[in-house]
Amino acid sequence: MAHPVASLDGRGKQPVYLLDFSVYKPPEELRLIRDDAEAKARQWPAYRGLPVEKVDEIKRFMFKVVQQSGLSQTGTYLPAGINPMITTAPKHDVEACMEEAEMVLSSSSCTA
């Protein structure tokens, strides 16, 4: 369903329509419980070769960003490739990206 809204340029020559949309709801297994995820992510070997102090600094920064982001303690979802509840190390490869894209794109549907 389309709803007319005010013209953004102020001239109002042609109506602008706001279209309905849907939001992707990930599967429950991708749900992130922040405290548990933080504990598991601290065990990731993602920063091998860096000094321990640098790794700790990076992780503290990442967890600070997550804590201050306003995301829910239990209502946040992450893709399987970077979800500490699922994987033992972040996956940055094409296969992980394709898996995430296929999951999102194949779940989208049009409802009338």
pLDDT tens readout for residues 13-28: 787 787 877 778 888 9
Cα gap 100→79, rounded to integer Å:
6
Are 83 and 35 in contact, with CB atoms under 8 Å apart?
Answer: no
Give the Å distances, CA to CA, from 17 to 14, 27, 40, 80: 10, 31, 45, 36
Cα gap 35→72, rounded to integer Å:
11
Are 29 and 86 in contact, with CB atoms under 8 Å apart?
Answer: yes
- The pLDDT tens digits of the residues spanning 44-91 come to 777 777 888 888 888 888 888 877 877 788 878 888 888 888 888 888
